[in-house]
Amino acid sequence: MSLGRRGFLQFCLGAGAGITFSPLPWKLMDDSAIWTQNWPWTPVPPGGEVSIEKTACTLCPGGCGITVRKVKDRAIKIEGMKGHPINDGGVCLLGMSALYKLYGGARIKGPLKRAGKRGEGKWEQIPWNAAIAEISKELNQKRQDGLSHTVASMTGTDRGTVPQLFKRLLAAYGSPNVFTAPSLQDSERLALKLMQGDYASAGYDLENARYVVSFGASIIDGWGSPVRAFRAHTRWAEKAAEGAKLVQVEACLSNTAAKADTWLTIKPGTEAALALGLAHVIIKEKSYNKAFIRDYCLGFEDWQDSGGTVHKGFKQSVLKEYSPDAVSRITGVPADRISVIAREFAQAKGALAVWGRGKGTRPMAVHDIMAIHALNALVANINKPGGVTVLPDVTTVPWPSLVQDDIAKSGTKQPRVDRAGTDAFPLSESLFDQLPKLIKGGTGEYPLSVLLVHGANPYYTEHDRTAVAEALDRIPFIVSFSSRMDETANHADLILPNHTSLERYEDVPTPISSSLPVMSLSRPVVSPQCDTRHVGDSLIAIAKSLDGSVAESFPWDDYESLLKATLGDKWSVLEKEGYWKDEGYTPADWSQAFRNASGKFEFLATTLLAGAKSAKDCLPQYSRAKLKGEEFMYPLILIPCESMRLADGPVANSPLMTKTVADTVLKNDDLCVEVNPKTAIAHGLTDERMALLSTPKGKAKVKIHLFDGIQPGVVAIPTGLGHTAYDDYLKGKGVNSNDLIGMIEDEASGLDIAWGSRASLKSI
């Protein structure tokens, strides 16, 4: 058998992905554990009773169930929970890292008050009652000054009980400024609201899908629950003889691209154009589901407005603008390949188009998601086995009514400082990415005075990080609830450390991409190791210490009683099994599925019509991104490259994860960027030599790694490195890609949809 270059790359990368889920690393770890027992300084767990506890992993939105093996009160091993509806026994490297988060470095051992300049790392330890009193004094003063609306919170997600507690605290106190870290969910929910009338997340029946076109989603490398997606991929491979297939659309040869049946290399940021090119072929050849389009869709055909003007529908718009030749010029994908993929997609049973670049954590343009989702509508694979569905939230017991005094009522009526929900961005609920621009330019409605941060690390994770840091530094009082000394905690004025994931209760709502409603319960499996408190308990204590009617909205003694009360009869199931799933869930049939005013799947988003410049703006479409910088100065395109071995969200890498990173990604402390050999020749770059990477947002010294699996003219930079906080295992290693990539604003939502940047590379 001959093995060509592509085959070789597939083999190597596929093996890498496979190893992540295979028993091999665990065996090696067992071996090294046995070996290291001979080191005198290795901590040896005490002998004693062994027990196994069920809990849920909260280190990413994947929602996996895990089991923790313990000796007495010492957690010693984490494994995937067998039978869990999401991961059924699998666990990823990050999930295993919970032990390190519990026992490893950079833990904040008790409440801290800043003693030096911001970011200097000088702290004074204070007791809990003093920490609560500090916040209480600050917040009460703002209420007295009529400035309650200048207090804001930022959480990593808006799902689950803790984010709801933050929302409630701000509402009872008197501020509308509740932010969540920007995520794919923000844009996905908007797209689904526009097309299907539900502001909700998409669920994919990956297990039963048979022809999956992934528009940049790293299906087996960190997207959704990677453990679940990897299993689904194994099933597709088993069904290959029946035509099961994964088509990966991506600019570089990621693990997912390497394992895919077809890898379509594409110019970065043009995925929506490709989706519309596929739609063109399907429509032109009349291979779409005509009954579904006729009976359950709106805006496919041309239509007439109340003034009698005729507007193009989706069909004519796509036929006119997105021929394979035109799309080939935009995307770089050959026209004949576009036609072949379109035909296969239209003919397959269980054809599924998936959005969400990389791990699917960053927002995308709303119209891009609409373009990709339009493919699911053309083949009518909505609310069917192997298709996409809009998942309902798991029902819980309603919370007691919110009590608001006059200050709270007046404060919450103020406009949000990020302009979400205003005339500027009427559809969006939270636009944290707008803040740097607004705060720095002084164009916000008013300055913020206090920021409470939980489960987010904006000083590290947001694009144009320098601008974010400058803007946040202008907020006089920042409170962090982090359990580890991340970049944001390091810039805070006060830290009220939360328990780590293995020390606390947490409800884990239906994870991203799940095909049925699921809830899991993260539980304290060991006693708190430090003088930390559950963030929910801290919030309840803060609420009870505030003036006015704030405390009346918080009748619970502590977070655990709140969780028990609101989870109702699900609590006992969650306690026993570790998860609850809606066994009988079946997606609504098409006559009930679409909950917008038309009751139909809307290719033409009628909600947008009133404020749109033209009717065309209400259809799925591709818009060329306006990248900053001149092409002659920045002739290359820089794209972020995500990996399962590098956590790049609010939870950072453990030393174990960093140890698995290849030398071609991080060599000593130098970050390597992937460059095609043709690019290297054109720009005078040499393999393994240092170069200066410049973008309109910053510069960084990087090492060149020549790689055939990246398009000429494109440079891939790994994400998840370049920390300036945490411990010696993370700090100062590599470069933070967010320093080099600036914001690209989505006109429809105001979200930052940046997928890359113009760049240059010069040998040094």
**For binding to ligand SF4 (CB under 6 A), which residues are involved?**
57, 59-60, 62-64, 87, 91-92, 94-95, 225-227
Comparison of 429 and 507: residue with beta carbon closer to ligand SF4: 507
Nearer of residues 438 and 508 to ligand SF4, judged by Cβ = 508
**Quick one: which H or E segment has residue 70?**
strand 65-71
Closer to ligand SF4 at the Cβ: 298 or 644? 644
The smaller minimum CB distance to ligand SF4, of residues 79 and 617, is found at: 79
Nearer to ligand SF4, 234 or 414 (CB): 234
Of 59 and 194, CB closest to ligand SF4: 59
- Distance, in Å, from the CA atom of 175 to the CA atom of 503, rounded to the nearest integer, reads 31
Burial of residue 677, with CB atoms counted within 10 A of its CB: 0-12 exposed, 13-18 middle, 19 or more buried: middle
Q: What dihedral angle (degrees, nearest 10) is formed by the CA atoms of 622, 628, 633, 634?
A: -60
Distances (CA, A) of 584 to 513, 516, 517, 518, 568: 18, 9, 10, 12, 19
Minimum Å distance from CB 95 to ligand SF4? 2
Torsion on CA atoms 432, 720, 367, 293, rounded to nearest 10 = -130
Query: Smallest distance from the beta carbon of 282 to ligand SF4, in angstroms?
Result: 34
Give the span between the Cα atoms of 554 and 67, in whole angstroms: 33
In angstroms, rounded to a whole number, what is the distance separating the alpha carbons of residues 398 and 402? Answer: 11
Nearer to ligand SF4, 92 or 721 (CB): 92
Q: Which CB atom, from 87 or from 538, has the smaller least distance to ligand SF4?
A: 87
Pick the closer one to ligand SF4 by CB: 86 or 342.
Answer: 86
| Closest residue by Cα to residue 637 from 217, 248, 214, 251 | 251
- What are the helix and strand counts (H, E) for the chain? 27, 30
For the CB of residue 20, give the shortest distance to ligand SF4 in the complex, in Å.
10
Is residue 233 within 8 A of residue 219, CB to CB? The reply is yes
DSSP 616: G
Distance from C-alpha of 265 to C-alpha of 639, rounded to nearest angstrom: 14
Cβ-based nearer residue to ligand SF4, 220 or 338: 220
| Angle of CA points 595, 601, 602, to nearest 5° | 105
CB of 61 to ligand SF4, least distance (A): 7
Instruction: Tell me the Cα Rg of the chain.
Output: 26
CA distance 358 to 213: 14
Considering the complex, state which of residue 92 and residue 246 has its C-beta at the smaller distance from ligand SF4. Answer: 92
Q: Considering beta carbons, is residue 68 or 761 the nearer one to ligand SF4?
A: 68
Distance CA 333, CA 273 (A): 10
Do residues 260 and 247 touch, judged by C-beta distance below 8 A? Answer: yes
Between strands 670-675 and 698-706, the pairing is: parallel
CB of 69 to ligand SF4, least distance (A): 15
Strand order of the β-sheet with 518-522 is: 506-508, 518-522, 579-581
| β strands within 272-417, DSSP E | 297-298, 303-304, 310-311, 351-354, 388-390
In angstroms, the CA 549 to CA 21 distance is: 52
Q: DSSP code of 177?
A: -
- Shortest distance (Å) from residue 36 CB to ligand SF4: 24
Smallest distance, ligand SF4 to C-beta of residue 79, A:
10
Which residue is closest to ligand SF4 by CB?
A: 95
Looking at the Cβ atoms of 87 and 596, the one nearer to ligand SF4 is 87
Question: What is the enclosing helix (H) or strand (E) of 162?
Answer: helix 161-173
CB of 307 to ligand SF4, least distance (A): 52
For 407, counting Cβ atoms within 10 Å of its Cβ (0-12 exposed, 13-18 middle, 19+ buried), the class is buried
